[in-house]
Amino acid sequence: MSSKMPKDFLWGGAIAAHQAEGAWNVAGRGMSIADVMTAGGNGIPREITRGIKEDVYYPNHEAIDFYHRYKEDIQLFKALGLKCLRTSISWSRIFPTGQEDEPNEAGLQYYDDLFDELLNNGIEPIITLSHFEMPYAIYETYGGFVNKAVIPLFVKFATCVFERYKDKVTYWMTFNEINNQADGQEPLHVWTNSAMIIEEESKKEELVFQAGVNELIASAAAVIEGKKINPDFQIGCMMAYVPIYPYSCAPEDLMASVKANERRYFYSDIHVRGKIPTYTQTYWQQKGIKIQISEEEKALLKAGTVDYIGFSYYMSGTITTLETVEGQPTDDIPHAKIVRNPYITATDWGWPIDPVGLRYVLNTIYQRYDLPLFIVENGFGAYDQLTEENTIHDPYRISYLRQHIEQLEKAVIEDGVPVLGYTPWGIIDIVSFGSGEMEKRYGMIYVDKDNAGNGSLQRLKKDSFAWYQRVIATNGEEL
């Protein structure tokens, strides 16, 4: 076995259309569900408004203006040495309401130009079809993905862009972090995954499961259509993997972690195996949850399985049933709580920092599915200080990424896990999905903009830029 990383390993970076592009109402683009999310803050949730309200700041409307500045940003990505860039296609740029028969040519042309610019600079585009945004009209007309009428609208969008970019894009993903909504506890996740606002609390779990099943059917149908257009397409899913550890060796804690992880596996089990898991069917029966799925739709799930698993990894979680330990109760598991892991530290936003957890996830997921893996998000959100010399020293980000890449390399070289690539999240500072902040920065490229939308949008290289440049140039040998 080689003692080095594969020569064709895809070192890259990741962004998303709604967090970077801006230009929310330019060139025929329709309003998306991301356009009605206000700015929040550290510990302050974002509000979802019904339509656009005057005198309310919506950070995604301008974002970092990547729509107009992508050429200069791509030159920075080229200087960094990126082999790939993960981004997404804004569905409402292509079908403004999702319901049009014909696509918006101006939107299609924009992505032609973007992908050409990337390819001309030696950077491969890695594309997510639905990354926390869909046309707002889908919510207004159908109530979101809980309505099966949305399935053919997504397949129409997917088929359109597959056909248009069949010679420019090889790696695709269908729905970003589709399992974020798994427990239905966060209104923001239910909104961004499925364009749903749940009013009937007693039906919440059933509605979220139904929307998830509909998205999985839509994903499978899209995979089938994509393979007809280009059999060489590699079409994957995209999961948020947060492994849940038992707090103690008490058998009850171990079982609580098993049950908590099942919620996370439900989506990828169907993406990969093409059928509803028995453990989920049992749960539905116990809870009286009724899910609408036809035999024809079950056949689609079976036929439209994915080629690889893309996933994000930021942190792990820890669960206990011990009454002597304080924690956050979880609706998933009766008598269980999510607790702080005493063996790891946390970010400014309270996210646990657990590099070994990445190696654990890589091994666990590969053993479960026997498919290639792609780490398409991993990163460190922090407050960065701009010095008087216009520099940003971010040793904390370098330390976080170095430790995670060390564990990635152990998984590949020592454990034999096939990993296609690594695209750290927010390679350039972008609007935070969770909080709507600009000051929760992930990037190796600083963008001069604050939480209120003020700033020149000037781009500056952080210390981590030169560090990651060296990592890529040495194929991960110099960390």
Report which secondary-structure segment, H or E, holds 191.
Answer: helix 187-194
Report which secondary-structure segment, H or E, holds 264.
Answer: helix 251-273
Tell me how far apart the alpha carbons of residues 19 and 53 are, in angstroms, rounded to a whole number.
Answer: 20
Q: Is 419 helix (H, G, I), strand (E, B) or coil?
A: strand
Tell me how far apart the alpha carbons of residues 341 and 324 are, in angstroms, rounded to a whole number.
Answer: 15
Name residue 386's beta-bridge partners. 392
Q: Pick from 260, 240, 269, 132: which is nearest to 179 by CA?
A: 240
Tell me how far apart the alpha carbons of residues 46 and 307 are, in angstroms, rounded to a whole number.
Answer: 35
Report which secondary-structure segment, H or E, holds 68.
Answer: helix 66-80
Active site residues: 177, 377
Q: Pick from 297, 322, 278, 319: which is nearest to 219 by CA?
A: 297
Interior angle at CA 134, CA 130 and CA 136, nearest 5: 170
Name residue 345's beta-bridge partners. 353
Q: Is 350 helix (H, G, I), strand (E, B) or coil?
A: coil
Tell me how far apart the alpha carbons of residues 115 and 123 are, in angstroms, rounded to a whole number.
Answer: 9
Alpha helices (runs of H) in 338-432, residue ranges in sequence order: 355-369, 395-409
C-alpha distance from residue 221 to each of 17, 239, 304, 371, 384 (Å): 23, 18, 6, 20, 43
- The tokens describing 28, both together, are 């025929």
Report which secondary-structure segment, H or E, holds 72.
Answer: helix 66-80
C-alpha distance from residue 331 to each of 66, 192, 256 (Å): 39, 21, 12
Residues with Cβ within 8 Å of residue 131, at least 6 apart in sequence: 16, 17, 18, 88, 176
Interior angle at CA 227, CA 226 and CA 233, nearest 5: 85
